[in-house]
A and B are shown apart, each in its own frame.
Chain A
Amino acid sequence: MTQFHTLRWRVYSLPPQRTRTTCPRTKYNNMTDIEERQSLLGNVNGESEAEEPGKQMSAISDPTRLLHRIVVLIFMCFLGFGSYFCYDNPAALQTDVVQDMNLNTSQFMQLYAWYSWPNVILCFLGGFLLDRVFGIRLGTIIFSLFVCVGQVIFAAGALLNRFWLMEVGRFVFGIGGESLSVAQNTYAVNWFKGKELNLVFGLQLSMARLGSTVNMNIMGWVYSRVADLIGSKGPSTLGTALMIASVTCFFSLVCALVLGYLDRRAERILKKEQGKTGEVIKLTDVKDFPLSLWLIFIICVGYYVAIFPFIGLGQVFFIEKFNFSPAEARAINSVVYIISAPASPILGFLVDKTGRNVIWVMCAVVTTLAAHMMLAFTFWNPWIAMSLLGVSYSLLACALWPMVAFVVPDHQLGTAYGFMQSIQNLGLALISMAAGAILDNRGYLFLEVFFCACICISLIAVVVLYLVDFLQAGEMNLSAAARARLYEETRLQEEARLQKEAPSDSE
C-alpha cells in the first residue's frame, strides 16, 4: 500500500508533462535523466530492462513498442471479462433462477436494478476515486475485488436460498462493475492515446461482449452439469453454478494485478504519469451543458434501456413466443453480443473514417426500432431481428459516445460522461423494474411495445439533435474529411495568431 503512495507522490511531484501526444515516441536519449528517475522511484523489482535502459529492449518488453502494447492490451481486455461474464448470469439462467428461487419477473429484474443503483452515483465518484484516492492501479484492483466479492455473495445467496443476499451481491458487484470499466478505459487512453485508441476501445468492447456471449452459452451447460452432479435442481445447484462463474472474476482480478505491475514498470521506464481518468467532475457544469448534450443523454438512455433489460428477459421470450429450446434461446439471446464483438472495431473504424456521427446514430436507432418491431409484431425468424439488433447496437456505441467530445469542452468531458453513465444507470435500474412488472402483468407484446416507445423517444432526440446541430453548424455531423480540414484550419489559424502576437508581446 505504502509503495503505491510513494510512487504516486513521486509521480505528482514530477513536472507536468504530456504523455504521448506531445512527446514523440523516441528512445530516451538522456540517460542521466532516466537514471535519476530510477533512483527517485526506487528500483523496486529490479527488472533487467530497467537496469540497461540504454540498450535496445526486446520488443515484447519495451513499453514503447507495439508488441508490448499488445501484451498489455490482452490483459486490459481480460480485465473486464469477469464482470461482463457475470453481469448477465441472471439472463443466462433466467428460467432456473426464477424457478429455483421461486421469483416472479419483477423480482428477477431486481437483480439487474440492484446492479445499476450504485452506479447512479459511482459514475461521478469512480473517476475521482481512481484519480485522487486510489490511483488507477490500486483502484482497478479494488474494483476487481468488489466484483469478485459481489459475485461470491450473489452465489452464496443462491446457495443459502436467500434472495435478499443475492440482491446484496448484485449491489456489491455493481459497485465494482462499472467503475472497473472506467478504469479499463483510463488504462486504454493512457497506453494508446494518439495511437490505436479507437481500435483499442473497439477491441475492449469486443472482449466485453465475448464475456457476455460465453456466459450466455455456457452457463446453461454448467448449470445442468451441476444439476447432474447434485442430483436435483434447486437453490444449491444455482449457487454452485454461480460460484463456478465467479472464477472468471478472479481471473480478471489477476489481470488487474498484472496490469498494475506492467503499468508501473512502464511508468518507470517511460517517465510517464500514472494514468488518470482526467475526470474532473463539477456538478455545477451541468447547468452549462448545451442542448445537444442533453439530447445525447436522452438518446443514450432511451436506447440502452431497450437493449439490456430486453436481453435480461430475452430467454423466456424466445422460448414462449418462438418455441425455442432453452439452449437455443440462450444462443439467440447472446447473438447481439456475438455480433457486437467483431462488429465494434469494424464499425468504429468506419465511423472514424466517415464522420457524420449523427447520421450513423440515426441509422442505428432506426435499425434497432425495426428489429424490436419485428420481434413484437411478427413471427419472422428472430435471428434476423437479433442480428440487426447486434449490428445497430455496436454502431450506436461507436457513433454516440464520441459525440460528447464534440459538444462539451475538454474540462467538462468528465462531468459529461459521468452524467451520461449515471443517467443511463438510473434509466436501466428503473426500466428493469418497470420491464419486469410490465411482463408480469401485460405480457411480451406490451413489453416490446414499451421498448419500441423507448427507442422512439431516442429517435425523436436524434432527429432534434440533427436539426440542432445543423442550426448551430456544429461539428457532430461533419464528415471526417471536413472535420480534419476544420482542425487543420484551426491549427493554422492559431499559428498565424501566435505569429501576429509574438512581436507585440516583446514590445
Chain B
Amino acid sequence: MAAAARGVLLLSLLVLLLNATFCSGDTYRRQLSLELNPGLNSSVSPLPPGINLVHIRSLGDGDTLHFLLCNQGPPTLLIVHTNSTSSSVQVDWPAFLSGNNSGSLRVEPENSVLHSNALVLVRLWEYDDLNDTADPQTVPPSSFLPPYELSRFQWGPLNSSTLDPQGPGGPEARLCGGDGSPAFSQGELCLQLSTFGSGGRAAGWPGLLHSANSSQLGFWLQGVRPRADRARFLLELQGLGRPHGPGRVEVRRSIDDEYSPSIFTVSQWLATPPDQSSPVLGFVQWRPVAYRRPQPEFSDTTPCHHSAPAAVEAAASGLGPAFYGAEAEASGLNISFGQPGEPAYNTTQYLSWTVLAGVGAPPADSFSPLVICIMAVGLGTPLLLLLLGGVFVCVRKHRLPRGRATGQSTRTTAWPRGRATGQSTSTTAWPSGRATGQSTRTTVSEASEGTLNALVGV
C-alpha cells in the first residue's frame, strides 16, 4: 500500500509538471502596441464626437497583424495580416471622415498584405416572441420591431477607463453607446476588443481558446429596455475579406465543454479559397452560447443560432469601404439568441455574446491538462497495479505448485473457515463461527491436518 501511495504521489508530481508545460501552451508570442486614431492631426480634421479608430499593432517574428476597430458607420473590426515587420496603417483622415471614404485607409506597403478580413456589426433586431419559438424564421414580420442601426449609434469616448493598453492578454478597448432613444436611456450596447500577445484562454465564460493571431470581440446589451413583452434579439453581421471573405460556416462538434459548460459545438465562419483543400485564411469563431447575466451561472446560459451565410452588399460606410473600397467579398448572417422555453430578454435585461476573429486556421480546443492528468492517473494506477499484481500472482502460483507435498500448502490455508477451533458448537448456517486470523490457521494445520488430508479426496 505504501508503494502504491508513493506511486500516486509520484504521478501527481508528474501531473503538476505536465500541467506547467501544457499551460504555457502556444508559445508563439507577439509584441503588441496600441495607437488611437493613427496619424490624426486634429487641427486639420477634427473628429466628430464619439468617433474613434483604435489600432493595435501585433508584431511577430516575420509578420505583422493590424487590428483596427472603428465606430464610424457600423462598428467594424478589421484584421490585416502582412508579411512585413514594418507595415503601417495610413489614414487619409479628411477623406475617412467624409461621406464617401472609399480607399481612405491603407496598410503599407500594400504588397505585403497577405490577407485581411473584417467583421461588421450592422444592426440589432428585436422581436416579440409571443409563441415562444425563439426562431426568427417563424415569427410573423409584424412581430419585428424597427431594428437598431448600429451605424447611427452615439458612442462614448475612448479614454483611460475604456482603453487599456496593458490588458491581461494585450491591449483592450471598449466602446459603449446607444441610439439616444428611450430604450437606451438606462442601458447601453457595448463592444470590447481584446487582443493577445500569446495563446491562451480568456477568463470567464465562454472562455474561447485564442492564439496570438486572433482577437476577441465581446458584445453585450445591458439595461436596454425591451420594447416587447417577450423580447428576443437578433444580431446582423457581415463578414468582409480580400482576397476571400468569410464564406461557409462550419459547425464542429466538440466533446470538451469545460470552458463553456453544456456547450458541445463550435461554430466557425471561415474565409477559404475556393479550393477547399488549401489552408484557411481567416476566421470568425464562436461558441453558440450567450449569457443572460454579467456574472453568469450555469442557468444563465442561453444558446444562440446562426442563419446560413448569404452573399450581401457590403455596408456603405465605416471601416469596410475605407479599406476595401468596393472590392470586398461580403457575406452576411444573423445570430439569434434564446431558445424556446427559456426566459426572454426581459427577465434579466442583459445579453452577452463573444466571438473570436483572426487570421489563419481557427484555434482548436483540446483537453485541458487537468482532464488529461486525471484520466492518466485514474487509468494508469489500476493498470499498473493489475500488471504488477498479475506478475506477482503468476510467480506465486508457479512457486507454490498444487498438492500437499509441501505441507503447509495453499489449500490447507484456504480451508480454515472452519469451526475446528474449539469454539462452541454452533449450528447456524455457514460463515458464522469463523474465528479470527492466524490462530485459526495454525490450529487447523496442526491439530486436524490428518482429518483434512483424509477429507481432501472428497
Residues of A within 8 A of B (CB): 18, 21-22, 98-99, 102-105, 194, 288, 316, 320-321, 376-379, 405-406, 409-411, 439-446, 449-450, 452-453, 455-457, 459-460, 462-464, 466-467, 470, 473, 475, 485-490, 492-494, 496-498
Other contacts beyond A463-B385, A467-B393, A475-B417: 6, CB < 8 A: A378-B255, A409-B434, A446-B371, A489-B458, A493-B420, A494-B420
Can you list 19 contacts pairing A with B, beta carbon distance less than 8 Å?
A104-B297, A105-B298, A320-B262, A320-B263, A439-B261, A439-B262, A441-B298, A455-B378, A456-B379, A456-B381, A456-B382, A457-B378, A467-B385, A470-B396, A475-B414, A486-B414, A489-B418, A493-B418, A493-B455
Q: Are B417 and A490 in contact (CB under 8 A)?
A: yes
* A494/B458 in contact, CB under 8 A: no
Given A409-B431, A487-B430, A440 and B425 touching (CB < 8 A)? Answer: no
Interface membership of B28, Cβ < 8 A = no
Taking a contact as CB atoms under 8 Å apart, the answer to whether A493 and B417 are in contact is no
Known: A410-B432, A443-B262, A475-B417. A497 touches B378 (CB 8 A): no
Main secondary structure of the interface of A (DSSP, over half): helix
CB contacts under 8 Å to A, within B155-208, are none
Interface size of B as a range: 35 or more
CB within 8 Å for A493 and B448 given contacts A446-B371, A466-B389: yes
Cβ-defined contact, B378 with A452, below 8 A: yes
**Bound CA–CA A460/B374 (angstroms):** 14
Q: How far is the CB of B145 from chain A (nearest CB, A)?
A: 25
Known A-B contacts A440-B297, A498-B425; A453 and B415 likewise in contact (beta carbons under 8 Å): no
B413 within 8 A of A: yes
Rounded to whole Å, the gap between the CB of B301 and the closest CB of chain A is: 9
A409-B431, A439-B298, A487-B430 as given contacts; A463 in contact with B386, CB under 8 Å: yes
Which residues of chain B are within 8 angstroms of A446 by Cβ–Cβ distance? 258, 370-371
A22 and B427 CA atoms in complex are apart in Å by 9
| Chain A residue at minimal CB-CB distance from B417 | A490
The distance from the CB of A179 to the nearest CB of chain B, in whole angstroms, is: 25
Most buried by A among B425, B431, B448: B431
User: How far is B258's CA from A443's CA once the two chains are assembled, in angstroms?
Assistant: 5
User: Which residues of the other chain, B, contact A488 by a CB distance below 8 angstroms?
Assistant: 458
Minimum C-beta distance from A444 to chain B (A)? 5
Residues from chain B with Cβ under 8 Å of A455 in the complex: 378
Q: Taking A490-B415, A497-B420 as contacts, is the C-beta distance between A463 and B451 under 8 angstroms? A: no
Chain B residues near A441 (CB, 8 Å)? 261, 298
Please give the residue numbers on chain B whose beta carbons come within 8 Å of chain A beta carbons, in ascending order.
1, 4, 253, 255-264, 297-299, 341, 367, 370-371, 374-375, 377-379, 381-382, 385-386, 389, 392-393, 396, 410-411, 413-415, 417-420, 425, 427-434, 436, 448, 451-452, 455, 458
Nearest opposing residue in chain A for B385, CB measure: A463
- Does B431 lie within 8 Å of A445, measured CB to CB? no
Q: Nearest residue in A to B371 (C-beta to C-beta)?
A: A449
- Determine the residue in chain A with the shortest Cβ distance to B257: A443
Which chain B residue lies CB-closest to A442? B258
Say which residue of A379, A409, A459 sits within 8 Å of B255 (CB atoms). A379
A459 to B4, CA, bound (A): 14
Q: Which residues of B contact A102 (CB under 8 A)?
A: 299
In the complex, chain B residues whose CB is within 8 Å of the CB of A376 = 255
- Closest Cβ–Cβ distance, residue B444 to chain A (whole Å): 9
Q: Out of A103, A320, A406, A411, name the residue touching B432 (CB < 8 Å).
A: A411
Q: A46 to nearest B CB, angstroms?
A: 36
